[in-house]
Chains A and B, each alone.
Chain A
Amino acid sequence: MKMNLTALSLLLVAGVSYGLYQLSYEVQGLEKNLAALDKNISDNRETIRILKAEWAYQNRPDVLQSLATKHLPLLLIAPYQVADLEQVPENVIALSELEPKNVPLPRKKPRRTYKPPKNKPLGSYTLATFSKAGGVQ
Chain B
Amino acid sequence: MSELTWLSKSHRPRLNLKNPLNAHKSDDNNVALRLEGSAKETLEQGRNRLVMAGVIFAFCFVILAGRLVGLALSGDGDTARAFPEKSNQKPVAFSDGMRAEIRDRNGVLLATTLKTASLFAEPKNVMDRQELASKLSRVLDDMSEAMILSKLSSAKNFVWLKRNLTPTQQYRINALGVPGLHFKEEEKRFYPMGALVSHLLGYTDLDNLGIAGVEKYFNGQLSGSKETAASELNLSIDVRIQHAMRDELTRHMSMFQAIGAAGLVMDVKTGEILAMVSLPDFDPNRPNDFSSDSKFNKVSLGVYEMGSTFKTFTTAMALDAGTIGLHGGYDATKPIKKAGFLIRDDHPKKRWLSVPEIYMYSSNIGTAKMAIDVGPKNHKAFLGKLGLLEKPSIELPEVGAPILPPRWNSLETMTISYGHGLSVSPLQLSAGVSAVVNGGAYINPTVIRRDPAVGIVARQVIKTKTSDTMRKLMRLVVEQGTGSKAAAKGYLVGGKTGTAEKVEGGRYKRSAVVTSFVSAFPMNDPRYVVLAVMDEPKGNAKTHGFRGAGWTAAPIVGRLVARIGPILGIAPVEEESEKVKRAMFVPINSKGKKVASF
Identify the A interface with B (CB < 8 A): 42, 45-46, 49-50, 52-57, 59-62, 65, 76-80, 82, 84, 125, 128, 134-136
Closest chain B residue to A45 by CB distance? B94
> Which of A45, A60, A84, A135 contacts B192, CB < 8 Å?
A60
Contacts of B114 in A (CB 8 A): 46, 49-50, 53
Are A53 and B251 in contact, with the CB atoms below 8 A?
no
B167 within 8 A of A: yes
The B476-522 residues at the A interface (CB cut-off 8 A) are 489-491
Contacts of B491 in A (CB 8 A): 79
B112 within 8 A of A: yes
Are B563 and A136 in contact, with the CB atoms below 8 A?
yes
Are A56 and B94 in contact, with the CB atoms below 8 A?
no
Closest chain A residue to B560 by CB distance? A136
A91 to B: closest C-beta gap in Å: 23
**Which residue, of A52, A55, A76, A136, has the highest number of chain B Cβ atoms within 10 A?**
A136
Contacts of A53 in B (CB 8 A): 109, 112, 114, 190, 192
Identify the B interface with A (CB < 8 A): 94, 96, 108-110, 112-115, 167, 190, 192-194, 196, 239-240, 242-244, 247-248, 250-251, 489-491, 559, 562-563, 565-566, 571-573
B442 to A: closest C-beta gap in Å: 31
Contacts of A128 in B (CB 8 A): 559, 562
Are B196 and A61 in contact, with the CB atoms below 8 A?
yes
Shortest Cβ-Cβ A-B pairs, 6 listed: A79-B490, A79-B572, A61-B243, A56-B192, A56-B109, A57-B192
Are A56 and B489 in contact, with the CB atoms below 8 A?
no
Contacts of A55 in B (CB 8 A): 109
A62 in contact with B192 given A52-B112, A76-B562, A76-B563 (CB within 8 Å): no
Give complex CA distance A76, B490 in Å. Answer: 13
**Given contacts A56-B108, A82-B572, could you give 16 more A-B pairs where the C-beta distance is less than 8 Å?**
A45-B96, A46-B96, A49-B114, A53-B109, A53-B112, A53-B192, A54-B192, A56-B110, A61-B239, A61-B240, A61-B243, A76-B563, A80-B490, A82-B566, A82-B571, A134-B251
Contacts of B110 in A (CB 8 A): 56
**Which residue, of B243, B565, B572, has the highest number of chain A Cβ atoms within 10 A?**
B572
A59 to B: closest C-beta gap in Å: 8
Contacts of A49 in B (CB 8 A): 112-115
Show 21 A/B contacts (Cβ-Cβ < 8 Å), sorted by A.
A42-B96, A45-B94, A50-B167, A56-B110, A56-B193, A59-B108, A60-B194, A61-B239, A61-B240, A61-B242, A61-B244, A76-B562, A79-B491, A79-B572, A84-B571, A125-B490, A128-B559, A128-B562, A134-B250, A136-B247, A136-B563
Main secondary structure of the interface of A (DSSP, over half): helix
Q: How many A-B residue pairs have CB under 8 A?
A: 79
Contacts of B243 in A (CB 8 A): 61-62, 65
Are A135 and B108 in contact, with the CB atoms below 8 A?
no
Give complex CA distance A50, B96 in Å. Answer: 14
Give complex CA distance A35, B344 in Å. Answer: 80
> Which of B194, B247, B566 contacts A135, CB < 8 Å?
B247
Give complex CA distance A54, B112 in Å. Answer: 11
Closest chain A residue to B574 by CB distance? A79
Contacts of A62 in B (CB 8 A): 196, 243, 247
Contacts of A77 in B (CB 8 A): 566
A136 to B: closest C-beta gap in Å: 6
Are A79 and B489 in contact, with the CB atoms below 8 A?
yes
Closest chain A residue to B575 by CB distance? A79
Closest chain B residue to A54 by CB distance? B192
Contacts of A134 in B (CB 8 A): 247, 250-251
Give complex CA distance A8, B572 in Å. Answer: 94
Give complex CA distance A134, B247 in Å. Answer: 7
Give complex CA distance A87, B167 in Å. Answer: 53
Closest chain B residue to A124 by CB distance? B489
Contacts of B167 in A (CB 8 A): 50
Give complex CA distance A56, B193 in Å. Answer: 7
Are B96 and A60 in contact, with the CB atoms below 8 A?
no
Contacts of B247 in A (CB 8 A): 62, 65, 134-136
Give complex CA distance A80, B112 in Å. Answer: 41
> Which of A46, A54, A56, A78 contacts B115, CB < 8 Å?
A46
A31 to B: closest C-beta gap in Å: 12
Give complex CA distance A18, B454 in Å. Answer: 65
Contacts of B108 in A (CB 8 A): 56, 59
A26 to B: closest C-beta gap in Å: 15
Closest chain A residue to B576 by CB distance? A124
Give complex CA distance A122, B571 in Å. Answer: 21
Contacts of B192 in A (CB 8 A): 53-54, 56-57, 60
Give complex CA distance A57, B283 in Å. Answer: 13
Contacts of A57 in B (CB 8 A): 192
Give complex CA distance A62, B240 in Å. Answer: 9
Are B109 and A52 in contact, with the CB atoms below 8 A?
yes
B579 to A: closest C-beta gap in Å: 15
Are B571 and A60 in contact, with the CB atoms below 8 A?
no
Contacts of A50 in B (CB 8 A): 114, 167
A135 in contact with B248 given A46-B115, A125-B489, A128-B562 (CB within 8 Å): yes
Contacts of A125 in B (CB 8 A): 489-490
Give complex CA distance A58, B563 in Å. Answer: 22
A128 to B: closest C-beta gap in Å: 7
B189 to A: closest C-beta gap in Å: 11
**Which residue, of A45, A62, A128, has the highest number of chain B Cβ atoms within 10 A?**
A62
Give complex CA distance A84, B572 in Å. Answer: 11
A135 in contact with B251 given A49-B112, A82-B566 (CB within 8 Å): yes
Contacts of A45 in B (CB 8 A): 94, 96
Give complex CA distance A52, B101 in Å. Answer: 11
Are A60 and B193 in contact, with the CB atoms below 8 A?
yes
Contacts of B571 in A (CB 8 A): 82, 84
Contacts of B239 in A (CB 8 A): 61
**Which residue, of A52, A55, A59, A135, has the highest number of chain B Cβ atoms within 10 A?**
A135
A6 to B: closest C-beta gap in Å: 19
Closest chain B residue to A131 by CB distance? B251
A27 to B: closest C-beta gap in Å: 11
Give complex CA distance A77, B96 in Å. Answer: 44
Give complex CA distance A134, B252 in Å. Answer: 12
A99 to B: closest C-beta gap in Å: 40
